[in-house]
Amino acid sequence: MSKKADDQKTIVVVGGGHAGIHVARNLSAKLDPAKHKLVLVNPLQYRIILPAALRLVVSDADNLDQTALVPYDKLFHNGNGTVVQDLVTAIHQDSGAQSGVLQLRSGERLSYDILVLATGAAWEGPIAFPDHPDQVKQFIAASRERYAKSNEFVLAGGGAVGIGKVHFIL
């Protein structure tokens, strides 16, 4: 006998970057949808592949707009999960309680029984993408324009996504 939907445990993964998608995808393969409701919350409807984004913000070559911004449409196994496109602005949880409620930018509230926070890092410089979907394309265009006008630029930092600062020399 299957449980009623009211008896389902809601698992919410906040953050749709590298860690969040791997947690959500793996859980979607293992959880029984009759017992668990799986939700991924992310302000964008796609994941930004940061190493590719470094080139994306500089040039329109190779159509990286199409490959560096990966939609979540194939994230969950057998459709076992949903994506809520929104930004978490607050977490409400009573002292000692295991469950709680997320306050979203839209004003909606999302209850959870289990919460996974995978919000990632905050970036500065050329890959500091806005968290509002309407601003991402404008951000990319403005960045490409800055690079096109620059005579030189310096990228200081290490790692695959150049954690550090970028200075434009006009």
Alpha-carbon span 25 to 17, nearest angstrom: 12
Q: For 121-134, write each residue's pLDDT tens digit.
A: 877 778 899 999 99
CA distance 52 to 68: 6
Residue-wise pLDDT for 133-162, tens only, equals: 999 999 999 999 988 888 776 666 655 555
pLDDT at position 32 is 96
- Domains and their CATH numbers in the chain: 5-123 (3.50.50.60)
Q: pTM for the complete prediction?
A: 0.82
Secondary structure class of 81 (helix, strand, coil): coil
Contact (Cβ atoms closer than 8 angstroms) between residue 31 and residue 38 = yes
- For residue range 44-89, list pLDDT tens digits in order: 999 999 888 888 998 888 889 889 999 999 999 999 999 999 999 9
Residue ranges with strand state E in 49-129 = 69-71, 82-85, 88-92, 100-104, 109-112, 114-117
Q: How confident is the model at residue 102 (pLDDT cuts 50, 70, 90)?
A: very high
Does residue 170 register a pLDDT over 80? no
Higher pLDDT, 9 or 168: 9
Please tell me the distance from the alpha carbon of residue 12 to that of residue 15, in angstroms, as a whole number. 10
